[in-house]
Structure 1
Amino acid sequence: MNKLKSVLKWFIVFTLIGLSFISTSSLHAQNTLLLSDEFNGTSLNTALWTFGTHPNNDAFAEVTGGILNVHSGHVIGSGGTVISQPSFILSEETLILEMRVATANLGAVWGFNSDRQNPARGWVYFGLPATGTLIADVGISGSHMQFDLSFIDVTVWHTYRIEATDTIVRFYVDNQLVATHTGVLPLNKPLFVDLDSTSWQGDEILYVDYVRLSQQPANVPPDCSNAAPSRNSLWPPNHQLVNIDILGITDTDNDPFIITINSIFQDEPTNGNGDGDTAPDGFGLGSSAASVRAERAGNGNGRVYHIGYTATDPAGASCSGEVFVRVNHNKKSEAIDDGPIYNSTQ
């Protein structure tokens, strides 16, 4: 029975830890939903989309069985295009466009596209050109980059995702990163969600199960402005090592973060008169906490440790700083800081 209670106890502890982690992680994921359509109706939702084609073409779009079918029509080189009513601009916030798509169409495009009538247009999309193999394409008129994704079988259903900011674009297929681009981007250009089917061999069809577009707020780095040591003064000076944690760091996004000790310096020699000759006096570089020795020179004005640290969130954003720990010369006189002169770890 005691063993069972012990197992249940640890199960509850780990469950609570897991729930806490999930809650903390999800707080940053408060994305704004900009566009969502699962095509559950009987026709195209004209509040969300417009359909366009060449005047002499017989292209059309239909919704059947929860699937959008974009027909290219029979006019070679023409096609049918379903584009979103609202447009979007790349910014520091991340646009996340997810689509479940299948096609055998040699002229299909699904992703972002600006006004096709504008000669200075831009785009970020997955596409199936006349070569018959999938590409990811991003850029502007006159300058763009294509990524070969011919290993993807486009005739079966896949979930395609584009994550785009004003500095980087990432392409995913079934949650696997397949391409990253940081070069020329279509900045300051209105981008529409574009579901396009072009005819190269007669009427061809782009099948779309759903489209979901959201925007993730720009990541904010941790805040080190209120950082403080877990102990700012050590007494008595008994030459023992004392663990020092870095407290008071926060993150506006409620992201978890990792604290790393970068440096430990002091204003007295690690070996000197009246300090016990117990060098080194600092430990913990590369770890989440420092250890410093509770000692000072017997003939000095007290010792001050300078502990440098960095706090880093999962996105790689960070803040850095320094906290101070004193070892007073005596109980009545606070240690005087003469600067980070000596490396405590040597």
Structure 2
Amino acid sequence: MAAKVGRIKLGSQGLEVSAQGLGCMGMSAFYGPPKPEQDMIALIHHAIDSGITFFDTSDVYGPFTNEILLGKALKGGVREKVELATKFGIRSVDGKWDFCGDPAYVRAACEASLKRLDIDCIDLYYQHRIDTRLPIEVTIGELKKLVEEGKIKYIGLSEASASTIRRAHAVHPITAVQLEWSLWSRDVEEEIIPTCRELGIGIVAYSPLGRGFFSTGPQLVENLSKDDIRKNLPRFQPENLEHNKTIFERVNEMAARKGCTPSQLALAWVHHQGKDVFPIPGTTKIENFNQNVGALSVKLTLEEMAELESFASEDLVKGDRHTFSVSTSWKNSDTPPLSSWKVM
């Protein structure tokens, strides 16, 4: 199923990207061992040739190795063809994750990412997680200086609450907010999505395929390596997976009627949320990448959208989306307790 990948404005500050992006984390970290470098560079070049030019990485992926990989892939005149997003704000301290937004750290992290990526300017620089120990205005103030110095073009936030987004946007326009959004992760729709739309902020959806669940269903878990973090996710635990497989079966049945794959159907649902939504499905295989691009050709009616949503309504999904418990009080706040995060 061929598709022409259009280009759309991400946010209201002038950044233009491909309508779908490529999440690069799994190439280097968290989803099993790092993949062969030359294969991943070939995949990145294939993506560019296919019209996907919006690439997402972070300094914590590896850590650091994913940025180095992207830097190698973008050499030889390739850099000018892409829009590159990376992130700062998560670091390892004594075997646990720490979230840091201190101005000196922000600047040092930016300089280090520029060096690893071997570029002069980052197109979109996200705060990966919010440091709740200091006002968001302090962190954004330093990012604003980096924009003025030409080291970054646009500022983004990842997994931020609606109130934090508003406060940050008042210091310097926020171009994009990255968040988890898929058929079975929809808590962001209550406050965060409306806030972004009110402020003209682009929405970048990570894990739009439910961390691979909507690609292969329960069978995904059987094929994960021992160091793949998805093995620990509540939704993938046996007692929840047995229940959740019904969701995949229903999506699969509808995909068969539509003449597409279940992953294309789930991804098309995210695309149909609006022209301000940019999914960044990750993959390490060209075959899966081509399928994801094919999702752009899948058209859904309002009735089909509603049918899909009925398969994965909140009361039908068993298990939290993270290894920590997402309580009602945390759903629309910035960061869970640090004690619940462990370095993998």
Tell me if both proteins adopt one fold, taking TM over 0.5 as the criterion. Answer: no
Greater RCO (CA < 8 Å, at least 6 residues apart): 2
TM score, norm. by length of structure 2? 0.24
TM score, norm. by length of structure 1? 0.23
Higher helix share: 2
